[in-house]
Amino acid sequence: MTNTAILAASALLMFAYLLDIVGRRWKLPSVVLLIVTGIVLRQVMDSVHLHLRWIDPVVPVIGTLGLILIVLEGALDLKVSRDRLGLIARAGASTVLGFTATLAAFATLFHFALSLDVPVAVLAAIPFAVISSAVAIPAAHGLAAQPREFVIYESSLSDIFGVLVFYAWLNAEGSLELFTFDLLGGGGVSLAAAAVVALLLYYFINQLEGHVRFLPLIAGLICLYAVGKELHLSPLIMVLGCGLLINNPGLLKWHAKLRSLHSEKYEQTLKEFKGLVAELTFATKSFFFLLLGYWTNVSEMVSVKAWLVAGAGIAIIYGSRWLILKLLRQESAERLLWIAPRGLITVLLFLSASDSGKLHGFPFGSVMLIVLATAGMTALAHRMAEGSAEAPAVIEPAVAPPE
């Protein structure tokens, strides 16, 4: 049994790496390939009466670990400077406006189409209003620097904002007063905790020595995330803040004691830390989406109600995103339109909403249909980029250059 498990895990990782290569070559989202592979694997195993009973409790755990690592990896790629403040502001505005508009539209759809009470409709709508950084950040690779950074900031902020709003609404039990207090109070405490944790992590990275250096730091960050969740905070703010500070030590130059923490070997240490985070992120994300595909009940995805809800939801997502990108006059809006995927965070939040016992009868198949469709449509951003890159070649110069 042990050898079988080791063989299966290693084979799945190698297969996930192969799918990643195929996805990059053909501009296909590896997330969709992984989920579809998991679905096919489930059908094959069911046909020979083999069942993985441990999937149900494992999927949320791996998904949470993957979310932490993906946000950390994205933050480690971001540079913060004065010339980027406008970009960050537009990404924040896009996050808030997009989340609010999509939430209102989905809640209205669920209230009238599924006859859900307004508080329950809002709870069910929140996961669909969140852009998944787990899918968006990899999908942004290959875009120009500014659109790519916009996607990283927007999707990371969307995850954080969505988690904060979701748990505040879940705990408020429909009370707007409790929701406002929990949202503002939790956000303020989360920001303060993020500043402290980021400084501590920066200090320890500068003091690291020996062969085992980074795993204790990542374990500590995951532990703090779990504590923050128990306190109903938004611990993803801590993850994002740590990544931003570690990758931008220049933010600490204003204080002499903070400047003195910076070691000569910091750049090399940071490079090694990024490498480890990237490897762990790939492994965790691959296992999650493969297991998510296996865990999905195909019979729920073929119902008429699920397809109708999914179709309306997809129209809401891209309609509201097009309006907001045009309103903000965002550069490369025609490509960024298609990078609005729902994925890991959508599934995790919807599972939490289902565990509350308030979503009986909701067509869960529509969740997976929206995840697959929006993740697949991210490929259109690269098709648009290829088309725009080839367009100038059609225009020939009036005078041929000398040989």
Which DSSP string corresponds to 255-290? SHHHHTT--TTHHHHHHHHHHHHHHHHHHHHHHHHH
Residue 352 phi/psi, 5° resolution? Answer: -65, -40
**How far is it, in rounded angstroms, from Cα 322 to Cα 343?**
20
Mean pLDDT of all residues in 176-183 = 82
Burial of 58 (0-12, 13-18, 19+ CB in 10 A): middle
Pick 322 or 383 by higher pLDDT. 322
d(CA 271, CA 247) in angstroms, rounded, equals 10
Which tens digit of pLDDT belongs to each residue from 71-125? 888 788 778 878 888 888 999 999 999 999 999 999 999 999 999 999 999 999 9
What is the C-alpha to C-alpha distance for residues 403 and 392, in angstroms, rounded to an integer? 21
In a domain, 104, yes or no: yes
Q: How far is CA 213 from CA 70, 210, 218, 270, in A?
A: 20, 7, 10, 11
First to last CA, the chain: 69
Instruction: Give the residue, 175 or 275, on which the prediction is more confident.
Output: 275
Residue-wise pLDDT for 293-308, tens only, equals: 888 888 888 899 999 9
Containing structural domain, residue 375: 23-47+61-382
Q: Would you say how long the chain is, in residues?
A: 403
In a domain, 393, yes or no: no
Report if residue 316 sits inside a domain. yes
CB 335 within 8 A of CB 140: no
Residue 8 lies in a domain: no
Would you say residue 3 lies in a domain?
Answer: no
DSSP annotation of 50 reads -
- CB atoms near residue 307 (< 10 Å): 15
C-alpha–C-alpha distance, residues 308 and 325, integer Å: 26
Residue-wise pLDDT for 253-289, tens only, equals 777 777 777 888 888 888 999 999 989 988 998 888 8
CATH number at residue 170: 1.20.1530.20
| H or E, element range at 221 | helix 215-230
Question: Using an 8 Å Cβ cutoff, are 199 and 245 in contact?
Answer: yes
Residue 374 placed within a domain: yes
d(CA 72, CA 160): 12
Task: Tell me, yes or no, whether 200 lies in a domain.
Answer: yes
* Residue 402 covered by a domain: no
Tell me the pTM.
0.83
Q: How many CA atoms lie within 13 A of 202 on its CB side?
A: 25
Number of domains in the chain: 1
Predicted local confidence at residue 388, as pLDDT: 52
